[in-house]
């Protein structure tokens, strides 16, 4: 397991290659839907704003993600690098999920990330909007887990 004592490369300052690596690493982790695993990418005192919810620390992150993935079933996420500078990265993303009644949604958003010198995310600010979609409007069909390398990204999908 990675801890605060073990650095988490790539490290800031980011360039186009290392920023894109961080984005894909985050996408891959979130697609596991494993709250503990995901929380380990953040500093122990990481600060989040997710929609209108404010979190602080890994324990809050685990609790939040557990609630999220108990509600957002069949969650599949794609992230795309938007911009980077120094220790900050901006991404846009879209994910598809269904509720326990079988209604499908696509959630669109933007995130601003700030990293520690050791490669852990110390701040995450996310703005997200949900859009109901019909099941036949879905675009993400890979098996649950990591998005295959040959699956189109957001730009290729017109999202």
Distances in whole angstroms, Cα of residue 2 to Cα of each of 53, 57, 68, 145: 26, 16, 23, 20
Strand, helix or coil for residue 14: coil
pLDDT mean values, one per 10 residues, the chain (159 residues): 71 98 98 98 97 97 98 98 98 98 98 98 98 98 97 97
Read off the tokens for 31: 């697609």
pLDDT at 4: 43
pLDDT at 30: 98
Strand, helix or coil for residue 41: coil
- Name residues whose C-beta falls within 8 Å of residue 12's C-beta, 6 or more positions apart in sequence: 86, 87, 88, 115, 117, 119
**Cβ atoms within 10 Å, residue 113:** 22
Q: Which of 10, 17, 13, 158 is nearest to 81 (CA)?
A: 17
Strand, helix or coil for residue 110: strand
- Name residues whose C-beta falls within 8 Å of residue 107's C-beta, 6 or more positions apart in sequence: 94, 95, 96, 97, 128, 129, 130, 131
| Parallel/antiparallel/unpaired status of strands 42-50 and 73-85 | unpaired
Q: Which domains does the chain have, with CATH numbers?
A: 16-140 (3.10.450.50)
pLDDT at 5: 62
pLDDT at 70: 98
pLDDT at 2: 41
Residue 2, Ramachandran bin (φ over 0: left; ψ between -120 and 50: alpha; else beta): beta
Strand order in the sheet with 121-133: 53-56, 42-50, 121-133, 104-115, 88-98, 73-85
Quote the CA–CA distance of 156 and 128 in Å, as a whole number.
21
């Amino acid at each position: 397991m990675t801890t605060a004592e073990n650095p988490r490369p790539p490290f800031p300052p980011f360039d186009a290659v290392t920023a894109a690596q961080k984005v894909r690493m985050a996408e891959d982790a979130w697609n596991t839907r494993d709250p503990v695993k995901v929380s380990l990418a953040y500093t122990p005192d990481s600060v989040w704003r997710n929609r209108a919810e404010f979190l602080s620390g890994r324990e809050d992150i685990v609790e939040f993600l557990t609630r999220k993935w108990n509600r957002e079933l069949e969650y599949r996420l794609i992230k795309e690098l938007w911009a980077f500078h120094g220790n900050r990265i901006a991404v846009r993303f879209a994910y598809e999920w269904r509720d326990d009644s079988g209604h499908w949604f696509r959630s669109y958003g933007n995130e601003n990330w700030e990293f520690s010198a050791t490669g852990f995310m110390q701040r995450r600010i996310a703005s997200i909007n949900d859009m109901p979609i019909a099941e036949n409007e879905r675009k993400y069909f890979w098996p649950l887990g990591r998005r295959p390398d040959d699956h189109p990204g957001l730009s290729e999908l017109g999202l």
